[in-house]
């Protein structure tokens, strides 16, 4: 039986610019799960995001969640024209990666607002990540964010700042892991729906139920919705 699965729906976008990848280190048993949400909707963003999802999964399986994300972040920042006026037209993406290594806690690293959740065996779903977006910035300042504050991310692959905002966390490596793009979790949260309710069944069934529910509740302007579900 497969222990992980991904489901995606394009929503109302012209392109599917979310991407996932998994990679298992040869001989080590370490497995990395990565999810990227491309910023924009074009052939170029789609292809770039798919490439960087694979790069992130490989790097994280080798160097750990934080080490892998920092290496791939630096790689994206070093691309030609990132420090010129052309940068605004280059592909970029938010990212989250989780690494499960034998005998070690689950390690998660992220930049942006794609999320990682964990449902420990027999316990409710817990969010592991904190969003890097203007909504969270305003909440941290004690202000009330407007309805579109969440649409501005404050950390992403392609950012050239010397000290990028990269979050890290560890958790017990047991239970069901969920990686989700904002197009997956936002519509459900907006309707006060508990993501746990969609996690029953196999990983494929759970991932599919999540993205179908997300697009169904998003209305006519549904975003790309992607879920990666893994049983650790």
Sheet holding 106-111, edge to edge: 18-24, 31-38, 93-100, 106-111, 167-171
Q: What is the pLDDT of residue 163?
A: 86
**Contact assessment for residue 47 and residue 93, using Cβ atoms and an 8 Å cutoff:** no
What confidence category does residue 14 fall into, taking pLDDT thresholds of 50, 70 and 90?
very high
b/e map of 28-48 (b: 16 or more CB within 10 Å)?
eebbbbbbbbbbbbeeebbeb
CA distances from 197 to 4, 45, 88, 124 (A): 18, 32, 39, 10
> Is residue 1 predicted with pLDDT exceeding 70?
no
For 126-137, how does the pLDDT look when each residue is reduced to its tens digit (9 = 90+)? 999 999 999 999
Question: Any idea which of 1-5, 10-14, 81-85, 191-195 has the lowest mean pLDDT?
Answer: 1-5
Task: Supply the pLDDT for residue 227.
Answer: 98
Helix (H) or strand (E) holding 215: helix 203-218
Q: What is the pLDDT at residue 28?
A: 82
Cα(187)–Cα(191) distance, integer angstroms: 6
CA distance linking residue 159 with residue 164, whole number of Å: 7
Query: Rounded to an integer, what distance in angstroms lies between the CA atom of residue 229 and that of residue 178?
Result: 5
List all residues 6 or more positions away from 159 whose beta carbon is below 8 Å from its beta carbon: 73, 77, 92, 111
Using CA atoms, how far apart are residues 81 and 101, in angstroms rounded to an integer? 37
Q: 218 and 187 in contact (C-beta within 8 Å)?
A: yes
Determine the Cα–Cα distance for residues 184 and 218; give it in Å rounded to an integer: 9
Percent of the chain whose pLDDT exceeds 70: 99
Render pLDDT for 163-177 as a digit per residue (tens, 0 to 9). Answer: 889 999 999 999 999
Q: Mean of the pLDDT values across residues 104-123? A: 94
Residue 26 has pLDDT above 90, yes or no: no
* Rounded Cα distance, 41 and 91, in Å: 10
Tell me the per-residue pLDDT of 184-219, one tens digit each, with 9 for 90 and over: 999 999 999 999 999 999 999 999 999 999 999 998
Contact 58, 32 (CB under 8 A): yes
pLDDT tens digits, one per residue of 140-159 = 999 999 989 999 999 999 99
d(CA 119, CA 141): 30
Predicted TM-score (pTM) of this structure:
0.96
């Amino acid at each position: 039986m497969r222990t992980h699965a991904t489901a995606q729906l394009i929503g109302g976008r012209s392109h599917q610019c979310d991407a996932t990848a998994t990679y298992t280190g040869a001989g080590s048993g370490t497995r990395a799960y990565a999810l990227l949400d491309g910023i924009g909707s074009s052939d170029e963003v789609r292809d770039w995001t798919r490439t960087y999802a694979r790069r992130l999964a490989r790097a994280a399986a080798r160097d750990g969640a934080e080490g892998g994300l920092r290496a791939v972040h630096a790689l994206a920042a070093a691309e030609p024209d990132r420090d010129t006026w052309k940068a605004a037209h280059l592909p970029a993406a938010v990212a989250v990666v989780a690494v499960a290594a034998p005998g070690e806690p689950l390690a998660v690293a992220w930049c942006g607002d794609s999320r990682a959740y964990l449902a420990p065996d027999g316990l409710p779903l817990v969010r592991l990540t904190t969003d890097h977006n203007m909504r969270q910035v305003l909440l941290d300042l004690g202000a009330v964010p407007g309805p579109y504050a969440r649409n501005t991310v404050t950390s992403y692959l392609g950012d050239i700042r010397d000290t990028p905002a990269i979050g890290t966390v560890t958790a017990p490596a047991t239970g069901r892991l969920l990686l989700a793009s904002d197009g997956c979790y936002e519509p459900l949260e907006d309707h006060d729906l508990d993501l746990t309710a969609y996690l029953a069944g196999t990983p494929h069934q759970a991932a599919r139920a999540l993205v179908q529910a997300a697009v169904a509740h998003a209305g006519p302007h549904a975003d790309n919705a992607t879920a990666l579900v893994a049983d650790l």
